[in-house]
Amino acid sequence: MKTGFLLLLLTAFLILPALLPPPPLAGEEKSSWEDYLAEADERAPSDKPAAFSLYEKAFRACPSDSSRFRIIRRAFSLSPCDPPPLSEAEKTEAEKHMLSLRVACLRNALSSFSPQGRIAVLKKIAEIAPSYASWADERIRAISHSLIESLTPDEKAELERLVENVTPSKLDDLARRFKKQGNYRMAIRLYWAYIMNKKTLTEEERSKIIAKVLELTKKLTEEISAEERKKLDDLFSSPMMTELTVRPSMKFFFIGSKDVLRRIKDKDIRAFDAAYILISDLYSNDPAANVRLPVVLNPFSTSRIYPSGAGFLVGRACFPADGKLPLHHYYIALDRKLGLPSLPYEFLYSGRREIASIYCRYMLGTPRRALREAEKMAAAFRRFYSERDIPFHLMPPYDVAAGFFLAVPLKYGKLRNGEFSWLKYREVWEIIISLSRALYPRYRFPVFYAYACAKVYGRKVYRDFAAMRLPVTEESFNDFAMEAFSLYP
């Protein structure tokens, strides 16, 4: 008996160490969110950029709603927060966008000039942006051809009369006469008629006439009035051509004219940075983990703000008014950029974007007010969908669609203090993202969403979905749950 007991102890002594996790290597200890938070608080007074990065790490690792709220508020409150200078890659990206803005400025002005003025603008585009040279040359040729062809009715009649009645040898003299009068169009047309009708021209003579045509074409296309020349000079020396600059933040670098960037309040820049952390964490999608994203303020676009390439393009509608950014639209743009997964209907995207804005305003603004807005969205869903006889795919967008996503989480996701658990709601999207490619055709999305909510809030929620007149039955819910179990047990 004693021997068996000793053998058991020896076996445990040999096996248990293998079952325990290995000790961390020197320098590889994994910090907890409390460690990140403590270090961030310590560094905040002297090194705000480093503190911001540490607050972000603490936020992403933190398992508590109340602590996450406190952490993101501290990151948001870091002011002034001088971000790191642009890297070489970011400088290259900024230069590319500034060049695009200059080209956009010139292209936008084309319609306000005469044909000769447009040619001058196109030449400027080709000069500053060689990649546009062939595009500009093609349009210059088209405008030049149009200028040469644009004779008045009287000039056309006179040209036809001269070509029909004057011997070819005299057309050259007539062309020189019109050239002296400054009528370059008629001179060019007569030179071409001379080349076409004078059959005995040598190759050398023909080349000389063509050289005269090119000289006259150049004069014709550069025939610009003093008033329009001043207008061109004003365009080429405008702030959009000469005063573009970059204003970096922790997650973005804003590109635009000095005047516009100077007007943006530091608080709004910090709100956009903090909102990036919130929404990228909500969907576990962090493209700015290692590189900041460009935000190009383009006054020639009438739109608001939307993803473009690696970053965002901001139109006039979302420029800072009195220094304030319309942050609601910026939050929506972040969801457009970062939101996962693909959804089966456009109205669902509009609803999800409204929730992203609510989330940011909850965490960075007044939680109670944001929660009241969320409750209004849930009420709008019940009023304009649940109480009406319309199919799911015709659900109204925006607030009503947001209410579809929020109705059940608002009922079951409240904390004891009445606040909303965004961590729980994040789990819902984690399940949706995990299963999105495998499980739902568009008609099954309500059942899919009900399943994700049930995994987080409990199986009872399917009855709430059915009561809200959504196409979710106990049978469809059970079938979906069985199908999903193997992928997300």
Domain-located, residue 19:
no
Interior/surface letters 67-92, b for 16+ CB within 10 angstroms, e for the rest: ebbebbebbbebeebebeeeeeebee
Looking at the fold, whether 128 and 216 belong to one and the same domain comes out as no
Would you say the C-alpha torsion 436, 441, 443, 447 has a positive or negative sign?
Answer: negative
Q: Who contacts 457 (Cβ-Cβ below 8 Å, separation ≥6)?
A: 408, 409, 412, 413, 424
The model's pLDDT over 317-368, given as tens digits with 9 standing for 90+, comes to 999 988 899 999 999 999 999 999 889 999 999 999 999 999 999 999 999 9
Mean pLDDT of 447-474: 91
**Nearest residue to 310 (alpha-carbon basis) of 168, 473, 97:** 97
What CA–CA distance (Å, rounded) separates 107 from 240?
12
Would residue 266 count as lying in a domain?
Answer: yes
Q: Residue 183: inside a domain, yes or no? A: yes
Closest CA to 465 of 449, 479, 485: 449
On whether both 52 and 162 belong to a single domain, the answer is no
Beta strands in 221-349 (DSSP E): 244-248, 252-257, 293-297, 305-308, 311-314
Report the CATH number at residue 317: 1.10.390.10
Statement to judge: residues 186 and 207 lie in one domain: yes
Q: Report the percent of the chain where pLDDT is more than 70.
A: 92
Question: What is the extent of the structural domain holding 370?
Answer: 340-489
Answer whether residue 483 is part of any domain: yes
Residue 404 sits in the same domain as residue 452: yes
- Residues 283 and 394 placed together within one structural domain of the fold: no
Residues 327 and 354 in one domain: no
Look at the chain and report how many structural domains it folds into: 5
- Decide if 233 is inside a domain: yes
Are residues 439 and 464 both part of a single domain?
Answer: yes
* Residue 235 domain-assigned (yes or no): yes
User: Amino acid identity of 277?
Assistant: I
User: How far is the C-alpha of 102 from the C-alpha of 93, rounded, in Å?
Assistant: 15
Residue 24, domain member (yes or no): no
| Degrees, nearest 5: CA angle 170-173-178 | 125
Q: Is 167 helix (H, G, I), strand (E, B) or coil?
A: coil
Q: Give the domain-ending residue among 306, 337, 368.
A: 337
Which pTM value belongs to this model? 0.85
Is the same domain home to 364 and 439?
yes
- Whether 345 and 481 share a structural domain: yes
407 and 489 housed in the same domain: yes
pLDDT of 72-108, one tens digit each? Answer: 999 999 988 899 999 999 999 999 999 999 999 999 9
Residues 441 and 348 placed together within one structural domain of the fold: yes
Predicted pLDDT at 157: 84
Neighbours of 242 (CB within 10 A): 11
